[in-house]
Amino acid sequence: MTKAMSPNMDDLEKAKTCFMQALSEFQVGDLSAAETLLRQALDIAPDRTSVLTNLSAVLLKQKRPDEARLYAMRSVELDPDNAEGWLNVANSQDGLGHHEEALASYDRSITLNSDYAEAWLSRGKTQESLMRYAEALISYDRAIVIKPDYPEAWFNRGNALNCLRQHEEALISYDRAIVIKPDYAESFSNRGNALVHLKRFREALASYDRAISLDPCYALAHFNRSVCWLLLGEFNRGWKEYEWRWDIGKYGHKPSFEMPIWSGERVDGVLLTWGEQGLGDQILHASMLKQLAPLCKQLVLAVEPRLVDLTQRSFPEICVVTNATSLPEQSFDAWLPLGDLGIHFRKSWEDFPLIPPPYLIVDPDRSARLRERLTQGKKRVCGISWISNNNEFGRHKSIRLLDLLEILRIPGIEFVDLQYGDTRKERENIQIQESVHLTRVDEVDNTNDIDGLAAVINACDIVVTISNTTAHLAGALGKEVFLMLPYSQGLIWYWHENRDDSPWYPATRLFRQARPNAWGAVISRVAQEIQRRISQLNA
């Protein structure tokens, strides 16, 4: 915060007193008191940039960017050379999601004060939000040159390096932040993430433990530790910590019902299980519904609207509804999130059925018609999916269609597009450039008609995919799946570690990168396995 009023405020003793008291309250963390005092000062001295600047800073700390922007803009209108004011303008714009505007304001602040380490740091954070990690790294490095013992700059430098897959160097930055600030729980937690990416899992768990010892209520560290345990198959530990997913702001809010959460007892009434997270997660957790249903008089499953038709056909004994609308609480006696089924039914590897039947059932007539159309000329059918749109991990999991040429050129196979979204341009390009055709079933919307997509998948002999919804659908249908996985970043916990099979989907085979971004060898191995498998099917 600004440390003094402008000289012409000397005669405004009351405003000055309010201002100085506000600074003290800000320092001890009483933001509400600081805001009240600054507003009192502002009533007396409405055109004092120091009051406006500090009030906007307090509002930003309270996560009120809309209001903060008003006062920050007023401060720079009165004093265009106010570097701190421009920083607050930028921070408020960033908080409102206006990242490009924020970058311009950060640059204005830095132009006025090139040694403003805080502005360089915030600029880097915004560049990270735009996934411009190399640029963010430059901003953090500049902040560190100005202020070498700046733990937040070292911490964020580690984050950018993690995103750039420079995990060893990220560890150095996190360790430097910890040397400067030994109680830096966030740095210990993200250090653990870097170690996971390096497959040094026991060290990662120790780093998460340290973060939690420093801040026992640090939700993200608990969640990171849970998914590390689950990745390693330490289910009993992992599921207990998985509850922290609700506190990290990533998976929405846990539904609030007055009815009790189910804890494993027999329910002589209606039990509701509430679908959460994405389509793939809901499909995965649905593998345990057959074990849950006998433990209540009536099971109600609330799922993503696109899954209702498919799951209702697959589980006729269950009442399937959409989770997009609220349910009257008097209609059920107990409930639990779908993601909590694992703590009851998958406590160890031994809890997975050895030969579980496919648990999703398609419309047989629709699938049969599609199969007849796709196998014209007695070809075998291979479904292809290559993109994940996951905001956080999608770029690490996805492959370009052109990179799959070694697979798409295998003769005697009708390759079918199972990818959600608009793939027309990629399909046209590969047809023009390489004379390779990929069939799209135009009557099925692969994004919104999940029942239709399941029917197309069921019409295939083999499915080749990356980690996305298609992988879960095909696995739950019991199809033979060749699943291509990244080395570490983008590797979701349920594909586990050191396995080439999936306990969740026994007909799925896993093909893993040997090092980051090394898809070539994975694609070659899958191409060889497809040829071998097609030869067996044709024998």
Q: Are residues 94 and 205 in the same domain?
A: yes
Cβ neighbours of 249 (radius 10 Å): 10
CA atoms within 13 A on the CB side of 262: 30
In the DSSP assignment, the letter for residue 262 is: P
375 and 331 within one domain: no
**Is 261 contained in some domain?**
no
pLDDT of the residue at 56: 80
Q: What is each CA distance from 228 to 157, 193, 467, 483, 512, in whole angstroms?
A: 23, 9, 18, 21, 18
φ and ψ at residue 486, rounded to 5 degrees: -70, 170
Residue 243 CB contacts under 8 Å (≥ 6 apart), including other chains: 340
Give residue 4's pLDDT.
45
Angle at 256 between CA 253 and CA 261, to 5 degrees: 110
| Residue 20, both tokens | 């100085």
Per-residue pLDDT at 11: 46
In a domain, 291, yes or no: yes
Contact 336, 354 (CB under 8 A): no
CATH of the domain at 467: 3.40.50
Note the Cα 94 to chain centre separation in Å: 20
Residue 209 shares a structural domain with residue 312:
no
442 plus 526 within the same structural domain: yes
**How many residues are recorded in the chain?**
539
> How many structural domains compose the chain?
3
Amino acid letter, 105 = S
Which are the contacts of 207, defined by CB distance < 8 A and separation ≥ 6?
Answer: 188, 189, 191, 192, 195
CA distance 257 to 273: 12
Classify residue 202: in a domain, yes or no: yes
Sign for the pseudo-dihedral over CA of 7, 11, 12, 17: positive
State whether 126 and 197 are in the same domain. Answer: yes
Q: Are 474 and 495 in contact (CB under 8 A)?
A: no
Say if residue 22 is exposed, middle or buried (CB neighbours under 10 Å; 0-12, 13-18, 19+). buried
133 — phi, psi (to 5°)?
-70, -35
pLDDT per residue of the chain (539 residues) written in tens, 0 to 9:
554 444 444 545 676 776 677 677 677 777 777 777 767 766 777 778 887 888 888 888 888 888 888 888 888 899 999 999 999 999 999 999 999 999 999 999 999 999 999 999 999 999 999 999 999 999 999 999 999 999 999 999 999 999 999 999 999 999 999 999 999 999 999 999 999 999 999 999 999 999 999 999 999 999 999 999 999 999 999 999 999 999 998 877 888 888 899 999 999 999 999 999 999 999 999 999 999 999 999 999 999 999 999 999 999 999 999 987 777 767 899 999 999 999 999 999 999 987 777 999 999 999 999 999 898 867 899 999 999 988 888 889 999 999 999 999 999 999 999 999 999 999 999 999 999 999 999 999 999 999 999 999 999 999 999 999 999 999 999 999 999 999 998 899 999 999 999 999 999 999 999 998 899 999 999 999 999 999 898 87
Q: In what order do the strands lie in the sheet with 296-303?
A: 319-322, 296-303, 267-274, 334-337
For residue 259, tell me if it sits in a domain: no
Sign of the CA dihedral with 435 first, then 436, 442, and 448 last? negative
pTM (two decimals):
0.89
Cβ neighbours, 10 Å, residue 493: 16
Q: Are residues 104 and 220 in the same domain?
A: yes
Q: Look at residues 351, 376, 394 and tell me which one is the last residue of a structural domain.
A: 351
On whether both 148 and 38 belong to a single domain, the answer is yes
Domain annotation covers residue 253: no
Domain with 398, as residue range(s), is 364-538
3-state secondary structure of 208: helix
Q: Which pLDDT score is estimated for 15? A: 65
Considering the domain architecture, whether residues 383 and 531 belong to the same structural domain is answered as yes
Residue 510 has phi, psi (to 5 degrees) of -105, 130
What does the pLDDT read at residue 10? 53
Q: Residue 256 phi/psi, 5° resolution?
A: -110, 105
- CATH at 140: 1.25.40.10
Residue 71 lies in a domain: yes
Rounded CA separation 170/504 (Å): 33
The residues that bridge with 384 in the sheet, in sequence order, are: 417, 464
User: Both 435 and 305 in a single domain?
Assistant: no
Residue 254 lies inside a defined structural domain of this protein: no
Q: How far apart are CA 138 and CA 323, in angstroms?
A: 44
Element (H or E) spanning 41, and its range?
helix 31-44
**Residue 275 C-beta-side C-alpha neighbours within 13 Å:** 26
Q: Which residue, chain included where needed, has tokens 């600054």?
A: 38
Do 162 and 169 meet the contact criterion of CB atoms below 8 Å apart?
no
- DSSP at 356: P
Same domain, yes or no, for 181 and 327? Answer: no
Checking 32-37 for CB contacts under 8 A at 24+ apart, the result is 34/58, 35/59, 35/62
Report phi then psi at 482, rounded to 5: -105, 105
Tokens of 70: 């008003």
Which of 351, 379, 402 finishes a domain? Answer: 351
Give the pLDDT of residue 5: 47
Q: Are residues 433 and 409 in the same domain?
A: yes
Residue 357 counted as domain residue: no
Q: Give the integer Cα–Cα distance in Å for 307 and 276.
A: 12
Q: What is the pLDDT of residues 401-443, one digit of tens each?
A: 999 999 999 999 999 999 999 999 999 999 999 999 999 999 9
Q: What is the largest CA-CA distance in the chain?
A: 98
**Domain C-terminal end among 302, 324, 351:** 351
Q: What is the rounded distance in angstroms from the CA atom of residue 88 to the CA atom of residue 91?
A: 5
What is the predicted pLDDT for the residue at 489? Answer: 87
What is the rounded distance in angstroms from the CA atom of residue 386 to the CA atom of residue 470?
Answer: 9
Distance CA 73, CA 66 (A): 11
Are 150 and 242 contained in the same domain? yes
